Amino acid sequence: MREGGPGRQRLARGLRLAAGAACVTCVCALGSLSAQAGLAAGAYRDVAPRADGTASAGPARSWQDDLPRAIAWLEVEGTPISYPVMRPDEGEAAHFYLDHDAWGSPSPWGCPYLDTRCEPQAAHWLVYGHSTGFDSLMFEPLRRAYTTAVFNGIGSARWTDRAGASVAYEPLCALRVPAGFAPIQQFSLSEDEAGPFALALAAEASVRAEGWREQAMRADRILTLATCAGAQAGTDERTLVIFTAGDA
């Protein structure tokens, strides 16, 4: 067959059409995912606490009413993060909320949840959330917090429990670590152990707050937010953002 003959032209035209169809399919799939992500984010906004403590969905209800299984509400200043924090019930898989929403329905985005090994009165709580690829959904705003530009934009994390008591945690540092990073797996720390623990983590971090040593040693409570460091879930590295609370 000659260069540019009818057969080759038909083949080229077919390839172009196939490529165009593939692009349309890809764009449609991305559009569908984006729409689903928007709906998921909107569902949480509807029950997010307002200044008066009630949910956005109605004046007489609160997130505690709408989400009886949520243990707390988490907000992180400087980001869109404003979500309930779940804890799997006894008999549920430890990572149940990795692929279920706060209402218990299957969801590719999951919902932030507490590590089941965290003891109720311990000074360190570890919370997981997906990196989703969508800037306004789950813990995606924290995915690259191990870089100075992103870390400097993160404000305090406010943890509000079911009784309405709130604690503000200040960002201390962020690390990019292997998925099985052992030092973070401390779930029964006392308040007296919190400071040295925070100091050791900050010493390994790629980015730290100004005055991090003093902040770490004042800590009597630590909150770690963990997400995948890669652009897709299931990667072998994690981003850990460490927040502390303690006496000024």
What percent of the chain is modeled with pLDDT above 70? 77
d(CA 241, CA 116): 19
d(CA 237, CA 224): 15
The pLDDT score that the predictor gives to residue 71 is: 96
Lowest mean pLDDT among 53-57, 196-200, 239-243: 53-57
Token duo for residue 172 = 């201390």
Computed from CA positions of residues 110, 112, 113, 118, in that sequence, does the dihedral angle turn out positive or negative?
A: positive
136 burial via Cβ count (<10 Å: 0-12, 13-18, 19+) = middle
The pLDDT score that the predictor gives to residue 46 is: 82
pLDDT mean over 129-147 = 91
The label of the residue with tokens 């349309």 reads 24
- Give the distance from CA 72 to its chain's centroid: 14
SS percent in the chain: helix, strand, coil, step 5? 30, 25, 40
pLDDT digit string, tens, across residues 177-209: 999 999 999 999 999 999 999 999 999 999 999
Q: What is the pTM of this model?
A: 0.82
